[in-house]
Amino acid sequence: MSIADIFAESGHDDLLLPFQVNPFGLRGRLVRLNSAANTILSRHDYPEPVSLLLGEVMTIAVCLAGALKYEGVFSLQIKGDGPVRSMVADITSEGHLRGYAAFDRDAVEAAAADGDPTVPRLIGGGYIAFTVDQGADTERYQGIVPLSGQSLVECTHAYFRQSEQLETGLNVAVRKDEFGIWRAGALMLQRMPLDGGDAPAPGKARAVHDLEAHEDAWRTAVVMLSSATADELAGTRIAPDRLLYRLFHESGIVAYPAQPVAEKCRCSRERVETVLVSLSPEEVQDMTVDGLVSVTCEFCKSHWEYDEHALEKLRTHSSGN
């Protein structure tokens, strides 16, 4: 099936499109987040530098999740001691994406006014964590590395060099279009070890020309990946299949079925109430303001309020079960 056929069948404005660049099987993912990115970023009153950073975090999270086989939730979390204290994006194996940022608005605006909104300037010192959670009965996988780089792309490259020892190329773009719509996109390439990491057969050395061709194919692919513009990555003027064709058709490219991505939060009234009935009376009292306990989801801004009568009803119902 051609790339065009795959994309036509998917029909999704928000997607993850896996592909492979020949002849050495360089693995890649193309991500487009249009309505999903706009929905998430527009619902929060974030300063533009924070929206740009969170858009990158969400897009990189989708790229990385696409390289894994998991049933559950993949999370990318950044913690820092700068104006932006934390950012979180997670995506389920069903493609449900959400994200939020915690920050000091005045400090962000001051930092942005002083110069380019780099990672050291906005986030400061801290770490980036990648987590795969497949449920209570499985062990969580987590990789943590210090923030190292001027941009989140550089920090991601550092993670793969230090923790995965896997050569990775990444190009990410987040922007507002001429209509004020947030759009995001990314291309990621990863080079697998030659021969899948296996050593040559006994008595046989790997051919020098194979090694040279392997290196040349990687360098060429990274140059082409880097040539994709912000408008091509995070726009609508060129379809994903046409972008991949433009970049890699001379090397040869194979695409796989596109996976849809959608903005969807996992919060619910039931989850909130389960947490509330598990709290001690002292904890509930600490949350009470003017006779009400208020709960707001940081991701989607859904809001719930409970007075003492409603809380007592929850406790009675819970104890009755």
> How far is 97 from 94, CA to CA, in rounded Å?
9
Between 306 and 69, the higher pLDDT residue: 306
Higher pLDDT pick, 139 / 163: 139
Most confident of 12-21, 195-204, 289-298, 310-319: 289-298
Are 201 and 176 in contact by the 8 Å Cβ rule? The answer is no
pTM: 0.86
Q: Which residue has the tokens 């360098």?
A: 219
Residues 245-263, mean pLDDT to the nearest whole number: 92
Out of 129-143, 232-246, 274-288, 292-306, which region has the weakest mean confidence (pLDDT)?
A: 129-143
- Banded pLDDT at 233 (limits 50, 70, 90): very high
User: Is a pLDDT exceeding 60 seen at residue 196?
Assistant: no
More confident residue, 209 or 157: 157
Query: Which residue is listed with tokens 């040279």?
Result: 212
Check whether 11 has a pLDDT greater than 60.
no
CA separation, residue 72 to residues 67, 97, 101, 139, 274 (Å): 14, 12, 22, 12, 21
Tokens 């929206």 appear where?
A: 51
Most confident of 162-171, 198-207, 225-234, 248-257: 225-234
Rounded to an integer, what is the distance from CA 138 to the centroid of its chain? 22
Residue pLDDT, tens place only, 106-117: 999 999 888 788
User: For residue 13, which amino acid is it?
Assistant: D
Task: Report helix, strand or coil for 121.
Answer: helix
Which of 40-44, 60-64, 312-316 is least confident? Answer: 312-316
Question: CA-CA distance, 139 to 19, in Å (whole number)?
Answer: 29
- 198 pLDDT above the threshold of 50: no
Strands 96-103 and 262-263, by their bridges, are parallel
User: How many Å apart are CA 61 and CA 159, to the nearest integer?
Assistant: 13
Closest CA to 66 of 126, 124, 130: 130
The band of 321, judged by pLDDT with boundaries at 50, 70 and 90, is low
Strands 15-21 vs 259-260: parallel, antiparallel or unpaired: antiparallel
Residue 232 has pLDDT above 90, yes or no: yes
Cβ 216 vs Cβ 251: under 8 Å: no
Residues 6+ apart with CB under 8 A from 292: 305, 306, 307
Query: Mind listing the domains of the chain with CATH numbers?
Result: 3-197+207-263 (3.55.30.10), 269-320 (3.90.1280.10)
pLDDT digits (tens, 9 = 90+) for 150-195: 999 999 888 888 777 788 999 999 999 888 999 999 999 998 766 5
For 272, residues 6+ apart whose C-beta sits below 8 A from its C-beta are: 295, 304
The mean pLDDT value for 14-34 works out to 91
